Every structure is written in C-alpha cells, then in structure tokens.
Amino acid sequence: MTQTLILIIEDEASLRRFLVPTLANQDYQVLTAATGTDGLAMAHGHNPDIILLDLGLPDLEGAKVLQSLRLWNHKPIIIISARNQEQDKVQALDLGADDYLTKPFGAEELLARIRVAQRHGTQTAAETPVLQCGALRLDLERREVTVDGAPVRLTPLEFRLLEALAQRAGKVATHAQLLNEVWGPEATGQTHYLRIYMGTLRRKLEPDATRPRYLLTEPSVGYRLNAD
Amino acid sequence: MILASSNKEPPLSDPPPASADPILVAMGSEARTLRLLHTGVRMARELGRPWIAVHVAVPDWETANEEEQARVWLQEAHNLGAETAWVRASSVSEGLIEAGSRHKVALVVMGKRPPQGPWGRLEQARTLEAIRHSLGARVVTIPLDPVPPGTRGTPSFKELLGIIPAIAVLLGLCAVFAAALDHAVGFPGVPPVFALGIGFIAHRWGRAFSLPSSVGVLVLYHWLFASAPFPYHTEEWTAILALAATLVLVQMVVLLVDRLHWETRALRRQEAETLLIMLLGRALARCATAREVAQVLVERLQGLFRVQAWVLAPGPGDTWVQLPEAPKAPSSPRPSEFLPQFSAIDRRELFEPLFANGCSYVALAGQGGGEGLLQLRVGPGQPLDLESWGLFQSLAVQGGLALERVRWLEQAHQARLDAESERLRNTLLGAVSHDLRTPLAAIQGAATSLLLPDPLPEASRQDMLAMIRDESERLARLLGDLLDLTRLQSGAVQARKEWQMLEEVVGSALQRQEARQGPLPIQVDLPESLPLVPMDGALMEQVFINLLANAHSHAPHSPVILRAWEEPGAVQVEIADRGPGIPAEFHQRVFDKFFRMPHDLKDGGAGLGLAICGAIVDIHGGNIWVEDNPGGGARFRISLPLDGDQLAPFQPEPLPLTLEDAP
C-alpha cells in the first residue's frame, strides 16, 4: 500500500516544525505550503490524500482556499485554527471541510483525526452498512439499532438523524448540515429541533444521557458520533 | 365664505351656557380657516363638548377650486375629531341656522373679516343677529384677516387738530386756482383741480378724510361759483353734477388703490414670513449640538418678537436644563407636573401655548415626539397678536425638528464610537490571543509528539526540543513586551530622569543588540558638543534597541545611521535606514500596538516594539515619529526635551525649529 500523502497549508514555521517530523514518523508522506496560493498550487500538483488547512493565512482567507479546493477536490480537509471563534469553524465545515482542530492541540488528537479522515477517504467507495461503536450497533441497511444486543425502537426522524451522524462517524457534523439533511433546507436556523431530538436519542442509546459516550456535543458547532 | 361681524363678543374664557350641546364652527374655504379649526378644537376640548364643522355652500358664490379647498378643511376638521356637515342654502345665515337648529348648538364660532362695501358692516350685524335670534345660541367671532403692518389706524384727536386745518388750506388753494381757471378757460378747468386736491388728501391722510372733503368741495363750489341759491340754471346744474361725478370717480379710484395697497402689504408680510422660516431653517441646519440649536432659535425669536425666550430640555432629577443659561430666567413648573399637561392634548397638532408663572410655553416636537419646551416671556403691554403666534409656531416647529435631528446625530455618533471601540477591542484581543496561542500550539504539539510511543529519529527529536526552547523564548519576550506596554500606558511606570550622556545609552543599546544579532552595519554620529539629556537610561536604551532591531528586521543588510544634534530646548535623535521604507499612510499607525504592515509575511514580532518606543518617549515628554528618508528608506526621529518639561506636540512643518518657536 502506498504512503498516505498529507499536505500542510500553515504559515507558522514553528507549527510546521512540529507537524512535519511527527507525521513523517507515522509513515505519512508530508508536503508543506506557507501561503494559500502555494497550498492551492501544491494541491493541484500532488493531489494529496488529506489536507491540513490553517484558517489564518496571510495572503488568502482560509475560507477562500477551502472553496477553491472543493471545486474539484473531494479528499478530506481538516481545518487548523488558532481562532477560538466558532463562526469561522462552522463556516469552514459548512463549506465542505471534514473536521477541525483548535490550536493548541496534541499530537494524539491530530493523529486520531487524520485516521478518521483516512478511513472516510477510503470508505466512500464501499460503504459499510453496519457500524459498531462500543455497545451501540447500527445497521443502516436493515434500519436496526441495538444497544448491548437489545433492539432500540427509533422514530423515523430519530433514525434519520442518527443516520446523518453515522455517515460522518468520528467527524463533526454542523447544526446546519444535520438540519438540512434531516428536516430540509428551510429548517437550517432551527437548532432547537436538533437539541430536542438529540436529547431523546441520547436517552434511548446512551447508558447515561448526561455523560454521552456515542453522541458527543461540539459546542456551538454541531455533533459528532464517537466511532472508536 | 366666512361671515363677518362687528359685534363685541365676550372673551373665549367666559363660562359658556351650561349644557352639553355641541359647538358649531362655520368653515370657509380660505387659508385663514385653519385658525377657526384650531379654535374649534381648543374650545371643544376646554368645554368638553362635541363640535361640528359646517360649510355652507351658496349657489354661484364659490368657484370649484374654493369648494375643493373647503372640503379639504372639512376633512382636516374630521381628522381633529369634528362631525362635519356640508349645507346648501341660498345664504350663509340660512345655512347656518338650518344646520344649527338640526344639532341644537349652543355656541357658533365664525370668522370675522373686514366689512366690504359701505353696507357691509350693517349686513354682517344683521346676519349675526339673525343667527343669534333663530338658534338662541351664543355667537363668537374670530378675526381672520389681521391688519397688515403699515395700515393707518384711527388718528388721535391731536393729529386731527393738525390734519383738518391742513385740508382746509389745501381746499382753499384749490378753490383759488379753480376760480382763476374758471375765469380763463371756463368750467372744464374746474373739476380736474378739485379732483387733484381730493386725490392728494386721500393719498396723504387716507380715505376717511377724502369723502368729507369731497362734500366740502361741492359746498365750496356752490358757495363760490353759483350765481344764486337754489334753484340753479340748467347749465349750473350740469356743472355741479359734472363736478360731483368727477369726485365720485376719484373716490372709487382711491378705494381701488387702497385695496391694492392692502393686498400688497399682506403679500409682503407673507413673503417675509416665508423668508424668515427659510432663513431659520438654514441657520438651524448648520447647528451640530442642542446648545447651538437653542442659541439660534432663541436669538431669532427674541429679535423677531421682542420677547425673552429659552429652550427647556428635561434634565436629571426632574429639573429643566435651560438654554441658553440665564441667571434671571423665570422658573418653570417641574417636568413631571408640566409635561403631562402637554401630552394630555395632542400638542403636536395644535401648538397652543400653555401659561404658567407669567410665561407662555410651546412644545418643541419633532417627528418622534417632544424634544423640549420653548419658554417665552412677553414684555408688558406687548402681547403677541394672532398673526405673530402663527409665525412663532412655524418657527417652533423648525426648532423642534432641528433638536430632534441633533439628538439623532448625537445618538448615531455615539453608536459609531461604540462600534469602533468594540471593533478595536476585538482586534486587540484577536491579536493577543493569536500571538500567544501560536508559540503555545507549537510547544504543546512538539511536547506531545515527543511523548508518542513511536520514538522519533534523534535529529527530529533534537530539532523539536530546540523549537520548544525557541518558542518559549518568543512567548516570554512577547509576554514581557505586553506587560511593559501595559505598565507604560497605564501610567504605572514613571521615567526616572537623570542627566545622561546620550553616547553611553546608545552604546549600551548597540552592545546588547550586537551580542544578540552579531556585528551590525550601524554608523553612529554623535557630536561631542551634545549636552547631557534628562532621561531614564534603562527605558531609553530599550527604545534604541527596539528601533535598531526594527531597522535590522525590515532592512537586514542596509546601513543604518544614528545621528543626534541639539536644537533650542531639545535634542533630536535620528535613526535612518535604507530599507524598503514605510508608506506615508502608515506613518502614524506604526506606533499602534499590534500594528503590522499588511502583507508582511516575515515571521516578525508582535507589533509591540514601536508601541513601546512611543510609550517610553511619551513619558519622557518627548515626541517620536517616522518620515521618509530622502533617498529611500525610513527615518525615525526622537525629540527629547532638555528642560524636562513636556515638549509642544510635534508639528511636522516647519522643520527645524526656529529660535522664535523655542520656549
């Protein structure tokens, strides 16, 4: 199997200095670009498997780079952002980014996100209809959900919501994306729908709804189905 | 048409007949009807009665336009709460009696115009009496057409003593002249002479004197020229009739000219009012604060009406803020008591003044509601006539709108300031968090990477450890700068000024900078005659280090020249490089904290160095600025005062300072 090629678009030299050897040591092939323009050129030239994109680039807005990339490239993109502003992250995710990391972040977290992205990158062809996360088992084809082998009854809306999360298992799904897929494009502002249905899903699936293990909240951004 | 009356009615404030019968207001079609409308509303509200606005349409009396206008006034009355009626009748009095008896009115309000024609006065009185009699109601008349300025009033007895002999002498002269002409050319010469005389009298003393004078002329002619007492000869009859006809003609011409004059004056007055309102509007448009608006408004009103005026705005703690401030201004009832009286009736529609403490008060209202009150003290014996009130109210409307505009302006300005400071705060916060977070992210990333179970190659391991060291240094430097700047700008640091050799301070800075960055291409040019300078050595050393580091990072290999010279009262230091220079639009902003040149892709500092320089020079009472170095590059200049006092703020022109500018 060929090495996974990762493109890092990041203007801070110090971060590149830590990212490159860390990823190289994990048998990834690494390319770096310090500006958005260079990054776009290298993405065209090398067609990397995963892109790590910093939102605070000096020459181009991160969102612009993302838009340009998504015109033709459908490989996983992970946003790196020093800004704590949720709006930028949500915007990037809605524009098609797959996941995000907020600086500062640890090496394990980075590697975990890259593994999830890698899995999805290969899964797109042959989708696995069955998902097993701990005691939770989800069969999308037969529309069956079991916890510890015991079947759980879900309403059609609850199932569609769980399905939408499962399709991005391990990655974050923004409020807007979930609302759009489950309730339709008119409902994108109605985050309270989500909160209510997530509440009932957690009560049905989680051993302790106040300490969720499968259905994790990403504050102000969205939700994530914990795939590990 | 509005009926006229010469009756002396009791004032409006007299108690009305005690009943709840409605008030009837007879509406016309002319512009002055507005005053009737306002009187109707006021009386209806004061007496707590319903009111009916009636227009009597007399066939073939009004033009289509006038009828249209009358309907507009009725609509307006309807908007102000009146019941309206349109009555067709053969005369106004008939129509009013018909409408009045249908509604059992107790009070009829009518307009009063100057009587027309010799029998107008009588006609008016008869109409009024008929209405009063048929309805058993009181009739109130409101003067509609005020006398324009310049119209002659009734002459006093003393004036009469002068006028009558003058007229007698004039007529005597005319008689002598006419007799001479009669002798020379016969009777045709006589009437023109007397016509001239009567015309002159009418012109000089008014119509009131020309009519008796005409009768006098006829008597004079009879006495001087008739051969015998009655009966005359046929030709004498002809002559006296011809003379009488001439005099009647003169009277008619005089009447027409008089009316023309009257209308011209009324027009001029309207024109003047329009002009006044326009001028006030223009003056108010230039005002930027409520104080200025009040000043302009009050000045105009005082000039126009010879009254004292103040603008009252509700102030803190139930008091009025009186503009312009006047120590002897009469006091006013407190806002909490007074304002409800204004809002009780819709003052915005009517502008009827309220009275308290010997002053009149008019609400100054804009579109959005009350902006304050206009307080008015009228001098004794100079009451404002109705016409002046009309103009006064128009000006008050302008004042209210101007006050409202100014208030909105201030609100908009405040909102802009708030938004700007909010934006600035966010920018600063963003810059600080970015600059702190980036080295921290690198350190955390490297540390966690080193701790991963798969060991890194030795070279990478070393590099990461070095990176952790570098980034911690960067973080420490940034935090130090940030703390320094905060202490400097908050005033927590005082410059401990001592008389220092500039050479020593610069030398120390150079030494430290070269220890850090290796030998630098810096040429130092300090004259030996340079005096000692009062400064805090440690702080000023930091300034030179920052400036040299700045020059080094933006123009790495260019020669830098550090010069200093004495000027009256100050020492000037200059650090000039041959780098890319700084565009003029950033000359001020480079000293702002966290300012970095746009598109500065180099991994430079946090944008604090020059801000710190600015703050240090500032607490020395000096100035720091940057200009273009002639021949390329940037030139930072520092001016430090020699006497230790604050230097005058830097003025870029003229340079260098001349002797006259020295303190």
Dihedral angle of Cα B376, B381, B382, B387, to the nearest 10 degrees: 100
Clarify whether residues B291 and B227 are in a common domain: no
Could B443 and A104 be called an inter-chain contact, meaning their C-beta atoms sit closer than 8 Å? yes
Domain assignment present for B152: no
Tell me whether residues A108 and B442 touch, CB distance under 8 A. Answer: no
Q: Which of A58, A103, A106 sits opposite B437 (nearest CB)?
A: A103
For residue B320, give the CATH number of its domain. Answer: 3.30.450.40
Contact A82/B at CB under 8 A:
yes
Q: Are B642 and B534 in contact (CB under 8 A)?
A: yes
Chain B closest-CA separation from residue A21 CA (Å): 6
Residues of chain A with CATH 1.10.10.10: 130-225
- pLDDT (0 to 100) of residue B637: 93
> Could you give the CA distance from residue B147 to residue B13 in angstroms, rounded to a whole number?
24
Instruction: Name the residue in chain A with its Cα closest to that of B461.
Output: A21
**Quick one: pLDDT at residue B14?**
45
Phi, psi dihedral angles at A216 (to 5 degrees):
-95, 145
Structurally, chain B folds into a number of domains equal to: 5
Within this chain, do residues B111 and B203 fall inside the same structural domain, yes or no?
A: no
B91 touches B131 (CB < 8 A): no
Last residue within a domain, chosen from B209, B228, B261: B261
Last residue of a domain, one of B103, B118, B143: B143
Q: How far is CA B210 from CA A81, B171, B198, B216, B219, in A?
A: 101, 11, 6, 10, 14
CB burial of B645-655 (b: ≥16 within 10 Å; e: otherwise) equals eebeeeeeeee
Provide the residue type at B651 as one letter: Q
Kindly state whether B14 is in contact with chain A, defined as any CB-CB distance less than 8 angstroms.
no
Alpha-carbon gap: A206 to the closest alpha carbon of chain B (Å) = 31
Low-confidence ranges of chain B (pLDDT < 70): 1-19, 31, 114-118, 144-154, 226-233, 342-352, 367-369, 380-387, 599-605, 644-663
H/E element, B617: helix B609-619
| Tokens 């006050």 found at | B403
> B440: distance to nearest CA of chain A, Å?
7
The reply to whether A52 touches chain B by the CB within 8 Å rule is: no
| Delimiting residues of CATH 3.40.50.2300 domain(s) in chain A | 5-123
Residue of chain B whose alpha carbon sits nearest to that of A54: B438
B130 in the same domain as B47: yes
pLDDT at B346: 52
Kindly state whether residues B512 and B590 are assigned to the same domain.
yes
- Using the beta-carbon criterion (under 8 Å), do B599 and A25 form an inter-chain contact? no
Residue A100 in tokens: 């995000």
Residues 6+ apart with CB under 8 A from B662: B568, B569
Q: Nearest C-alpha of chain B: how many angstroms from A100?
A: 15
B599–chain A Cβ distance below 8 A for any pair: yes
Q: Considering only alpha carbons, which residue of chain B is nearest residue A34?
A: B601
Q: Which residues of A touch B453 (CB under 8 A)?
A: none
Q: Kindly list the residues from chain A whose CB atom is less than 8 angstroms away from the CB atom of residue B443.
A: 104
> Does A150 touch chain B if contact means CB atoms closer than 8 Å?
no
Instruction: For residues B655 and B508, state if they share a domain.
Output: yes
Residue of B444, B449, B603 with shortest CB distance to A104 = B444
In tens, the pLDDT along A76-133 reads: 999 988 666 677 888 888 888 888 888 888 888 899 989 988 887 665 444 567 888 8
pLDDT value at residue B543: 92
Contacts with B434 from chain A: Cβ below 8 Å:
56, 82-83
B363 and B506, same domain (yes or no): no
pLDDT at residue number A111 = 92
Q: Which residues of B touch A34 (CB under 8 A)?
A: 601
Q: Are residues B377 and B480 in the same domain?
A: no
Let me know whether B343 and B359 are in one domain. yes
φ, ψ dihedrals at B571, nearest 5°? -115, 135
- Which residues 499-528 in chain B show a CB within 8 A of chain A? none
The answer to whether residues B578 and B559 touch, using CB atoms and an 8 Å cutoff, is yes
Would you give the distance in Å from CA B266 to the centre of its chain? 28
Q: Name the residue of chain A whose CA is nearest to B427's CA.
A: A83
Q: What is the pTM assigned to this prediction? A: 0.47
The DSSP symbol for B586 reads G
Sheet holding A215-218, edge to edge: A172-174, A222-225, A215-218
B478 CB within 8 Å of a chain A CB: no
Instruction: Say if B437 falls within a structural domain.
Output: no
| Token pair belonging to A140 | 């999308």
Measure the CA–CA gap between B255 and B261, rounded to whole angstroms: 10
Side-chain half-sphere exposure of B405, counting CA atoms within 13 A: 15
Q: What span, in angstroms and rounded, lies between the C-alpha atoms of B394 and B274?
A: 10
Return the number of CB contacts < 8 Å for A and B.
88
Confidence at residue B381, expressed as pLDDT on a 0 to 100 scale: 63
Per-residue model confidence (pLDDT) at position B378: 76
B463 touches chain A (CB under 8 A): yes
**Best mutation target, B449, B452, B456, to test chain A (most A CBs within 10 A):** B449
Residue B108 φ then ψ, to 5°: -115, 125
Nearest chain A alpha carbon to B470: A14
Range of the domain at B485: 453-490
Q: How far apart are CA B74 and CA B107, in angstroms?
A: 18
In angstroms, what separates the C-alpha of B583 from chain A's closest C-alpha? 19
Measure A87 CA to nearest chain B CA, in Å: 14
A180-222 pLDDT, tens digit per residue, is 888 888 887 788 888 889 999 998 888 888 888 888 888 778 8
How far apart, in whole angstroms, are the C-alpha atoms of residue B23 and residue B25? 6
Strands (E), B508-607: 522-525, 533-535, 560-567, 570-576
Q: How far is B464 from chain A (nearest CA, A)?
A: 6
Q: Is the Cβ pair A21, B457 closer than 8 Å?
A: yes
Cβ <8 Å between A22 and B442: no
Question: Do residue B392 and residue B319 come from a single domain?
Answer: yes
The phi, psi pair for B309, rounded to 5°, reads: -135, 150
The CATH homologous superfamily for domain A5-123 is: Response regulator (3.40.50.2300)
Domain annotation covers residue B271: no
Q: Which residues of B touch A83 (CB under 8 A)?
A: 430, 433-434
DSSP letter for each residue of B379-400: PTT-PPPHHHHHHHHHHHHHHH
- CB distance from B439 to chain A under 8 Å? yes
Q: Measuring CA to CA, which residue among B350, B397, B406, B358 is closest to residue B374? A: B397
The CATH number of residue B58's host domain is 3.40.50.620
Q: How far is CA B545 from CA A174, B506, B575, in A?
A: 49, 9, 11
Contacts of B601 in chain A (CB under 8 A): 11, 34-35, 58-59
A159: three-class secondary structure by DSSP: helix
Rounded to the nearest angstrom, the gap between the alpha carbon of residue B656 and the centroid of all alpha carbons in its chain is 45
Number of C-beta neighbours around residue B280 at 10 A: 21
Identify whether residues B220 and B343 lie together within a single domain. no
Could you tell me if B43 and B121 lie in one domain?
yes
- CA B156-B158-B159 angle, 5° bins: 65
Angle at B6 between CA B5 and CA B12, to 5 degrees: 80
- β-pairing verdict for A144-147 and B320-323: unpaired
Partner-chain contact A108 B433, CB within 8 Å: no
The answer to whether the CB of B163 falls within 8 A of the CB of B155 is yes
Q: Is residue B481 located within the same domain as residue B512?
A: no
CA distance B458 to chain A (A): 11
What are A32-87's pLDDT values in tens digits? 998 889 999 999 888 899 999 988 887 888 888 888 888 887 889 999 886 666 77
Fold exhibited by the domain A130-225: Arc Repressor Mutant, subunit A (1.10.10)
**What is the structure's pLDDT at B651?**
45
